[in-house]
Amino acid sequence: MKGIVSFLMLLVFFVLFCGSMYAQNEKRVVAVTFDDLPFVNHLKFSPQDQKERTLKLLKVFENFSIPAVGFVNEYKLFVNDSLKNDRLSLLNLWISNNLELGNHTFSHPSLNKVSAEEYKTDILKGEKITKPLLAGKGKNIRYFRYPYLQKGNEEIKKKEIENYLLNLGYINAPVTLDNSDWVFARAYDNAIEENDSVKMKMLGENYIKYMNTVFEYFENQSKLIFNREIKQILLLHANAINSDYFDELCIMIKNRNYNFISLEEALTDPVYDLEETYVGNWGFSWINRWAITQGRGKEFYKDEPEPSEEIFKLAGINY
Ligand SMILES: [Zn+2]
């Protein structure tokens, strides 16, 4: 009898050991999303520049087999109410590379600052061109991304928009790996304008280092509230620094033992079915939203990585 008990205990230890080995070797997964299409700071770059930079970005998706989703602000397609074909053609480049597009509202308003009615109008206006573009490829427009990741500072407004999106058939696209790529991007755009290749390189290298800390941070935060690493969703922007450094960023992500997955696959993680009850001004990672919902305070996210003061300064943003 004693022998059987010992054998069973040994078996249990063996299974647990194998389980932990598996957990260590298991690949992390991340879905990649790009906001503010067709291109960030679109007034500063020539149509040819934007096209070349978009193609550069798409090449990286291809090289790393990344099924990215791009979120569009259709206001950028117009000048004085007339549709600009060169900008529209950028969206066609995404679609013809088999990438999916989503709605990021027409004019990128903050739900904290406009009424629910105004926001609804902007959602509908934001799909006018993208929807038929996707339909032409036999695809639906499925995803919606809140500008600034802000879901409203009033409970009623938050719920109203959630229901409105649901009725339109939209799936919310949360973000877990939130970051300040946009700060580096502004500094980088300034360096491009100054024709300062040394500064551009410095910013690019610091950007990759910063993003490494962002990944490490949210991997740990995920373990803190869920005891495991969830299927992450990364937010980036269709900007110049990413067109030049997204390939290096992908290498960094691969070195952290990640596989790239689709947004659809990421959303199969049960965490995305969890309720998040945060109501307030902040636009931040869903990991923070879930932490607050669990009753955790601001302490939980006080160490979120930020770009340095110098980067903010180069971006022309008050730190
Ligand atoms: Zn945005």
Task: Place 319 in a pLDDT band, splitting at 50, 70 and 90.
Answer: confident
Q: Is the pLDDT of residue 257 over 90?
A: yes
Give the amino acid at 188. Answer: Y
Give the pLDDT confidence score for residue 15 in this predicted structure. 47
Helix, strand, coil percent content, the chain, rounded in steps of 5: 55, 10, 35
CA–centroid distance, 149 to ligand 1, in Å, is 8
CA–centroid distance, 92 to ligand 1, in Å, is 20
C-alpha angle 241/288/303, rounded to 5°? Answer: 70
Q: Is the pLDDT of residue 141 over 70?
A: yes
CA–centroid distance, 82 to ligand 1, in Å, is 22
Give the pLDDT confidence score for residue 9 in this predicted structure. 52
CA–centroid distance, 119 to ligand 1, in Å, is 14
d(CA 255, CA 136): 38
CA–centroid distance, 182 to ligand 1, in Å, is 10
Q: Does domain 30-315 have CATH number 3.20.20.370?
A: yes
Q: Is the pLDDT of residue 124 over 90?
A: yes
CA–centroid distance, 235 to ligand 1, in Å, is 9
CA–centroid distance, 104 to ligand 1, in Å, is 7
Q: Is the pLDDT of residue 7 over 60?
A: no
d(CA 159, CA 123): 15
Task: Place 4 in a pLDDT band, splitting at 50, 70 and 90.
Answer: low
Give the pLDDT confidence score for residue 26 in this predicted structure. 84
Q: Is the pLDDT of residue 29 over 50?
A: yes
CA–centroid distance, 296 to ligand 1, in Å, is 27
Strands 28-37 and 232-237, bridge-based pairing: parallel
Nearest alpha carbon to residue 180 among 214, 154, 216, 156: 214
Q: Is the pLDDT of residue 17 over 50?
A: no
Give the pLDDT confidence score for residue 16 in this predicted structure. 46
Please provide the distance, in angstroms rounded to a whole number, between the alpha carbons at the two ends of the chain: 70
156-168 per-position pLDDT tens digit: 999 999 999 999 9
Give the pLDDT confidence score for residue 317 in this predicted structure. 94
CA–centroid distance, 9 to ligand 1, in Å, is 54
**Bond into 305 cis (ω within 30):** no
Write down the mean pLDDT value for the chain: 93
CA–centroid distance, 166 to ligand 1, in Å, is 20
Are the C-beta atoms of 230 and 28 separated by less than 8 Å?
no
d(CA 89, CA 79): 15
Give the pLDDT confidence score for residue 18 in this predicted structure. 44
CA–centroid distance, 66 to ligand 1, in Å, is 20
Are the C-beta atoms of 148 and 110 separated by less than 8 Å?
yes
280-295 per-position pLDDT tens digit: 999 999 999 999 999 9
Q: Is the pLDDT of residue 131 over 80?
A: yes
CA–centroid distance, 223 to ligand 1, in Å, is 27
CA–centroid distance, 113 to ligand 1, in Å, is 15
Q: Which of 22-26, 67-71, 271-275 shows the lowest mean pLDDT across its residues?
A: 22-26
Give the pLDDT confidence score for residue 101 in this predicted structure. 98
Q: Between the CA atoms of 197, 240, 65 and 68, what dihedral angle is there, to the nearest 10 degrees?
A: 160
CA–centroid distance, 27 to ligand 1, in Å, is 29
CA–centroid distance, 148 to ligand 1, in Å, is 6
CA–centroid distance, 132 to ligand 1, in Å, is 22
Neighbouring CB atoms inside 10 A of 297's CB total: 9
CA–centroid distance, 5 to ligand 1, in Å, is 60
170-225 per-position pLDDT tens digit: 999 999 999 999 999 999 999 999 999 999 999 999 999 999 999 999 999 999 99
CA–centroid distance, 71 to ligand 1, in Å, is 8
32-60 per-position pLDDT tens digit: 999 999 999 887 999 999 999 999 999 99
d(CA 281, CA 112): 6
Q: Is the pLDDT of residue 19 over 70?
A: no
CA–centroid distance, 14 to ligand 1, in Å, is 49
d(CA 84, CA 95): 17
